[in-house]
Chain A
Amino acid sequence: MNYPVWELYSTGGGLLMVIIAVVHVYVAHFAVGGGLFLVLTEMKGYRENSSDILDFTKKHSRFFMLLSVVFGSVTGVGIWFIISLISPDATSTLTHHFVFIWAAEWVCFGCEIIAIFVYYYRFGKMNRKAHLKIGWLYFLFAWLSLFFVNGIIAFMLTPGEWPETGNMWDGFFNPTMLPSLFFRTALSLVLAGIFGFVTAVFIKKTEFRETMIRYCAKWLILPFVFMMIFAFWYFKALPDAPRAMVMGRSPELIPVVKIFMWFLPLLFIGSLAMAIRMPGSVKKPAAFVILAIGLVYMGAFEWIREASRRPYLIYGHTWSNSIRVWEEEYLNKNGLLQTAKWIKNREIKDDNMLEAGREIFKIECISCHSVGGPLNDILPLTSRYSILGMDSQLNGQGKINDYMPQFMGTSEERMTLARFIVQGLHGKKDTKASADMQNLPVKIPMENPVKIPEFDEEKSEYVLLAWSDSGMYTIPDSKQFHGMGPEGNNLFAQLIRRGETPEIVTEDVELTYKDSGQKKLQNLQITYDKTLNGTMELNQDLMAFAAESIPVRPYKDDGSFNPYPVFTIEARSKTDGKILGKTRVVAPVSTEMGCNNCHGGKWRAKGSGGISDQTSNDILTVHDRISRTNLLDMAQKGRSIDCSSCHSDSISGAEGQSERLNLSASIHGFHANYLTEKDGDACHLCHPSSPDGNTRFFRGIHKSLDMDCINCHGKMEDLALSLLVAEKQAGKKSADRLMKYLSPQAVQNIDQVSPRKPWINEPDCLNCHVDFQPPETDESEINMWTKNREQLFHMRTGEAGIMCQACHGSSHAVYPTANFLDKDRDNIQPMQYQKNQYPIGANKNCKVCHTIDMEEEIHHPNMLNMFRNSEL
Chain B
Amino acid sequence: MDVSQLIPMSEAIPVHWGWFKFFLILTFVVHLLFMNAMLGGGIIALASSVESRFKNRVLAKETGAILPFIIAFTVNTGVAPFLFVQVLYSPFIYTSSVLMAVYWLSLVGMLLTAYYSAYIFDYRFDRPGSVFFIAVSVILMLVIGFLFTNNMTLMISPEQWTRYFDNPDGTILNFAEPSLIPRYLHFVISSVAIGGLFQAIVKKFKDRKTGNDSKADIENGMKWFTFATLIQIPVGIWFFMALPQEIRRMFMGQDTLGTILFMSGLVGTVLSLISGFYTRVAACTGWTIATIAIMVLMRDMIRDALIAPYFTVSSLKVTPGYSSLILFLAVLFIGIALVVYMLKLAYVPAEEEGS
| Chain A residue nearest to B77 in the complex (CB) | A110
Residue numbers in A under 8 Å from B176 (CB-CB): none
A126 engages B348 (CB within 8 Å): yes
CB of B97 within 8 A of chain A? Answer: yes
For chain B, the count of residues having a C-beta within 8 Å of the partner chain is 73
| Chain A residue nearest to B71 in the complex (CB) | A70
Partner of A70, one of B7, B11, B112: B112
B72 engages A4 (CB within 8 Å): no
| Chain A residue nearest to B69 in the complex (CB) | A117
CB of A166 within 8 A of chain B? Answer: yes
CB of A82 within 8 A of chain B? Answer: yes
B324 engages A84 (CB within 8 Å): no
| Chain B residue nearest to A110 in the complex (CB) | B76
B327 engages A104 (CB within 8 Å): yes
A106 engages B80 (CB within 8 Å): yes
CB of B178 within 8 A of chain A? Answer: no
B343 to chain A, nearest CB (A): 7
Partner of B353, one of A5, A6, A70, A128: A128
A118 to chain B, nearest CB (A): 4
| Chain A residue nearest to B5 in the complex (CB) | A341
Residue numbers in B under 8 Å from A166 (CB-CB): 319
Partner of B112, one of A16, A74, A88, A97: A74
A131 to chain B, nearest CB (A): 8
Residue numbers in A under 8 Å from B168 (CB-CB): 4-7, 362
| Chain A residue nearest to B12 in the complex (CB) | A96
Residue numbers in A under 8 Å from B165 (CB-CB): 344
| Chain A residue nearest to B68 in the complex (CB) | A70
A111 engages B87 (CB within 8 Å): no
A101 engages B324 (CB within 8 Å): yes
CB of B194 within 8 A of chain A? Answer: no
B80 engages A103 (CB within 8 Å): yes
For chain A, the count of residues having a C-beta within 8 Å of the partner chain is 68
B87 engages A95 (CB within 8 Å): yes
B119 engages A70 (CB within 8 Å): yes
CB of B352 within 8 A of chain A? Answer: yes
CB of B205 within 8 A of chain A? Answer: no
Residue numbers in A under 8 Å from B91 (CB-CB): 2
Partner of B170, one of A85, A95, A100: A85
Give Cα distance in the complex from A128 to B97, angstroms: 47
Give Cα distance in the complex from A166 to B317, angstroms: 14
CB of A51 within 8 A of chain B? Answer: no
Residue numbers in A under 8 Å from B342 (CB-CB): 111, 114-115, 118, 134, 137
A99 engages B331 (CB within 8 Å): no
Query: What 1/0 flags go to A160-181 for Cβ under 8 Å of B?
Result: 0000001111000000000000
Partner of B107, one of A4, A81, A169: A81
B95 to chain A, nearest CB (A): 6
CB of A75 within 8 A of chain B? Answer: yes
Q: Which residues in window 196-240 of B have CB below 8 A to A?
A: none
Residue numbers in B under 8 Å from A109 (CB-CB): 76, 79
Residue numbers in B under 8 Å from A107 (CB-CB): 328, 331-332, 335
Give Cα distance in the complex from A104 to B84, angstroms: 13
| Chain A residue nearest to B108 in the complex (CB) | A78
| Chain B residue nearest to A342 in the complex (CB) | B6
| Chain A residue nearest to B104 in the complex (CB) | A81
Give Cα distance in the complex from A80 to B80, angstroms: 12
A96 engages B13 (CB within 8 Å): yes
A144 to chain B, nearest CB (A): 8
Partner of B82, one of A80, A98, A134: A80
B76 engages A106 (CB within 8 Å): yes
Residue numbers in B under 8 Å from A126 (CB-CB): 345-350
Q: Which residues in window 8-23 of B have CB below 8 A to A?
A: 8-14, 20, 23
Give Cα distance in the complex from A605 to B80, angstroms: 67
Give Cα distance in the complex from A113 to B339, angstroms: 10
Partner of A3, one of B11, B20, B94, B324: B94
Given known pairs A3-B98, A124-B350, A137-B338, the reply for A70 and B83 (CB within 8 Å) is no
Q: Inter-chain contact count A-B, CB under 8 Å?
A: 206
A4 engages B164 (CB within 8 Å): yes
Given known pairs A3-B95, A341-B6, the reply for A92 and B90 (CB within 8 Å) is yes
Given known pairs A4-B95, A77-B79, the reply for A95 and B69 (CB within 8 Å) is no
Given known pairs A77-B75, A111-B338, A128-B353, the reply for A88 and B98 (CB within 8 Å) is yes
B108 engages A75 (CB within 8 Å): yes
A95 engages B346 (CB within 8 Å): no
Residue numbers in B under 8 Å from A831 (CB-CB): none
Given known pairs A3-B94, A117-B72, A137-B338, the reply for A74 and B348 (CB within 8 Å) is no
Give Cα distance in the complex from A169 to B10, angstroms: 21
Residue numbers in B under 8 Å from A8 (CB-CB): 101, 170
Give Cα distance in the complex from A86 to B128, angstroms: 43
B192 to chain A, nearest CB (A): 24
Give Cα distance in the complex from A111 to B341, angstroms: 11
Partner of B346, one of A4, A69, A106, A134: A134
B328 to chain A, nearest CB (A): 4
CB of B311 within 8 A of chain A? Answer: no
A127 engages B104 (CB within 8 Å): no
B65 to chain A, nearest CB (A): 10
B324 engages A122 (CB within 8 Å): no
CB of A91 within 8 A of chain B? Answer: yes
Residue numbers in B under 8 Å from A124 (CB-CB): 350
Give Cα distance in the complex from A241 to B9, angstroms: 30
| Chain B residue nearest to A341 in the complex (CB) | B6
B97 engages A92 (CB within 8 Å): no
A95 engages B86 (CB within 8 Å): yes
Residue numbers in A under 8 Å from B10 (CB-CB): 92
Residue numbers in B under 8 Å from A766 (CB-CB): none
A100 engages B328 (CB within 8 Å): yes
Give Cα distance in the complex from A224 to B145, angstroms: 44
B350 to chain A, nearest CB (A): 6
Partner of B104, one of A2, A85, A168, A344: A85
Residue numbers in B under 8 Å from A113 (CB-CB): 72-73, 76
Residue numbers in B under 8 Å from A104 (CB-CB): 327-328, 331-332
Query: What 1/0 flags go to B101-136 for Cβ under 8 Å of A?
Result: 100110110011001100100000000000000000
B320 to chain A, nearest CB (A): 10
Given known pairs A100-B325, A111-B338, the reply for A92 and B11 (CB within 8 Å) is yes
Given known pairs A84-B97, A127-B348, A169-B323, the reply for A100 and B14 (CB within 8 Å) is yes
Most buried by A among B111, B325, B342: B342
Given known pairs A3-B94, A169-B323, the reply for A97 and B14 (CB within 8 Å) is yes
Query: What 1/0 flags go to A344-387 for Cβ under 8 Å of B?
Result: 10000000000000000010000000000000000000000000
CB of B253 within 8 A of chain A? Answer: no
| Chain A residue nearest to B316 in the complex (CB) | A96
A505 to chain B, nearest CB (A): 79
Give Cα distance in the complex from A95 to B316, angstroms: 14
Give Cα distance in the complex from A100 to B79, angstroms: 13
Most buried by B among A8, A20, A104, A108: A104
Partner of A127, one of B14, B115, B319, B350: B350
Give Cα distance in the complex from A100 to B350, angstroms: 39
B94 engages A111 (CB within 8 Å): no
Most buried by A among B20, B68, B327: B327
Q: 26 A-B residue contacts at CB 8 Å?
A: A3-B8, A6-B168, A8-B101, A8-B170, A16-B105, A70-B116, A70-B119, A73-B76, A74-B108, A77-B111, A81-B97, A84-B93, A85-B105, A88-B90, A93-B11, A99-B324, A102-B83, A104-B327, A117-B69, A118-B342, A124-B350, A126-B346, A127-B352, A134-B345, A134-B346, A341-B5
Chain A residues near B (Cβ < 8 Å): 2-8, 16, 20, 66, 69-71, 73-75, 77-78, 80-82, 84-85, 88, 91-93, 95-104, 106-111, 113-115, 117-118, 122, 124-128, 130-131, 133-134, 137, 141, 166-169, 341-342, 344, 362
6 other contacts beyond A169-B324, A342-B164, with CB at 8 A cut-off?
A84-B93, A95-B83, A108-B331, A118-B342, A167-B321, A168-B321
**In the complex, the 7 A-B pairs of residues with the closest C-beta atoms, listed nearest first:** A78-B108, A88-B94, A100-B324, A100-B328, A130-B345, A127-B348, A107-B335
